[in-house]
Amino acid sequence: MTPPDDTPPEKTLEALGWRPWFAEQVTPEEAGLCLPVRVMAVHRGKIAVAGAGFRCFVSPYIPGAGPMDDHPTVGDWLLVDRATMLPVRVLGRQNLFKRRAPGDPRKEQMIAANVDTLFITASCNQDFSVARLERYLVLAREVGVAPVVVLTKTDLTDTPETFAAAARAIEPGLRVETVDGRNPASVARLASWCGKGETVALLGSSGVGKSTLVNTLRGSDSIATQAIRAADGTGRHTTTVREMHRLDQGGWLLDTPGMRELQLADAAAGISEVFDDFILAAQDCRFSNCAHGVEPGCAVRAAIAEGTLSAERFERWRKLANEERDNAAHPAKPRR
The β-bridge partners of 267 are none
Residue at 111: amino acid letter: I
CA distance 13 to 239: 27
The verdict on 211 binding Mg ion (CB under 5 A) reads: yes
Contact call for residue 178 and ligand GTP (CB under 6 A): no
How many CB atoms neighbour CB 155 within 10 A?
13
Q: Which of 80, 112, 148, 285 binds Zn ion (CB under 5 A)?
A: 285
Cα gap 335→106, rounded to integer Å: 9
Helix pair angle (130-143, 311-329), 10° resolution:
50
At residue 16, the 3 state secondary structure works out as helix
CA 182, 183, 189 angle in degrees (round to 5)? 115
Quick one: what does residue 208 bind among Mg ion, Zn ion, ligand GTP, none, with the CB cut-off 5 to 8 Å set by partner type?
ligand GTP
Dihedral pair phi/psi, residue 150, rounded to 5°: -110, 115
- Applying CB under 6 A, does 209 fall inside the site for ligand GTP? yes
Return the axis-axis angle of helices 299-306 and 311-329, rounded to nearest 10°: 150
Candidate residues 114, 121, 215, 239; the one interacting with Mg ion per rule CB under 5 A: 239
Look at residue 237 and give the partner it binds from Zn ion, ligand GTP, Mg ion, none, a contact being a CB closer than 5 to 8 Å depending on partner kind.
Answer: ligand GTP
Count Cα neighbours of 237 within 13 Å in the Cβ-side half-sphere: 4
Among 17, 258, 285, 332, binds ligand GTP (CB under 6 A): 258
Q: What is the per-residue DSSP string for 19-71?
A: -HHHHTTS-HHHHHHEEEEEEEEEETTEEEEEETTEEEEE-S--TT--SGGGS
Rg for the chain, CA atoms, rounded: 21
Question: Which position among 100, 153, 242, 292 is part of the footprint of ligand GTP (CB under 6 A)?
Answer: 153
The residues in 264-323 that bind ligand GTP, with binding defined as CB under 6 A, are none
Alpha carbon distance 110, 334 (integer Å): 10
Indicate whether 237 belongs to the interface with ligand GTP (CB under 6 A). Answer: yes
The residue among 218, 204, 221, 195 whose CA lies nearest residue 148 is 204
- DSSP class of residue 176 equals E
Point out which span in 52-60, 137-145, 236-244, 246-254 binds ligand GTP (CB under 6 A). 236-244
Select from Zn ion, ligand GTP, Mg ion, none the partner in contact with residue 300, using the beta carbon and a kind-dependent cut-off of 5 to 8 Å.
Answer: Zn ion
**Residue among 34 and 253 whose Cβ is closer to ligand GTP:** 253
Instruction: Kindly state the smallest distance separating residue 268's Cβ from Mg ion, in Å.
Output: 31
188 binds ligand GTP per the rule CB under 6 A: no
- Span of 12-20, 95-103, 228-236, 279-287 interacting with Zn ion by CB under 5 A: 279-287
Task: Pick the binder of Zn ion from 290, 316, 334, 335 (CB under 5 A).
Answer: 290
Q: Can residue 41 be called a binding residue for ligand GTP (CB under 6 A)?
A: no
Number of chain positions touching Zn ion (CB under 5 A): 5
Residue 290 binds which one of Zn ion, Mg ion, ligand GTP, none, with CB within 5 to 8 A depending on kind? Answer: Zn ion
Binding site for Mg ion (CB under 5 A): 210-211, 238-239
Given the rule CB under 5 A, which residues bind Zn ion?
285, 290, 292, 298, 300
Site residues (vs ligand GTP, CB under 6 A): 152-153, 155-156, 180-182, 206-212, 225-228, 235-239, 257-258
